[in-house]
Amino acid sequence: MKNPLDSLWGTVISGLVLTLVLYVIVKNFLM
């Protein structure tokens, strides 16, 4: 499997997905 960080789009999409995952964790478990 190709490393998503090798492409700019893969990096940006990974960042957006990570933002969503962390937001859900903070909103539901830490607030």
Partner 1 sequence: MELALARWIHVMAGVMWIGLLYYFNFVQVAALKAATEDGTAAGITKHVAPRALLFFRWAAVVTWLAGAAILGQHFVPAFTLQHGFAGIGIGAWLGTIMLFNVWVLIWPNQKKILGLAPASDEEKAKARRVAFLASRFNTMLSIPMLFFMAYGWQHSGVVFG
> Rule CB under 8 A: which residues touch partner 1?
3, 5-6, 8, 11-12, 14-16, 18-19, 22-23, 26, 30-31
- Please count the helices (runs of H) and the strands (runs of E) in the chain: 1, 0
| Residue 1 or 3 having the CB closest to partner 1 | 3
Minimum CB separation of residue 1 from partner 1 in Å reads: 15
Query: Does residue 12 sit in helix, strand or coil?
Result: helix
| Residue 1 or 8 having the CB closest to partner 1 | 8
11: which residues sit within 8 A by CB, 6+ positions away? 4, 5
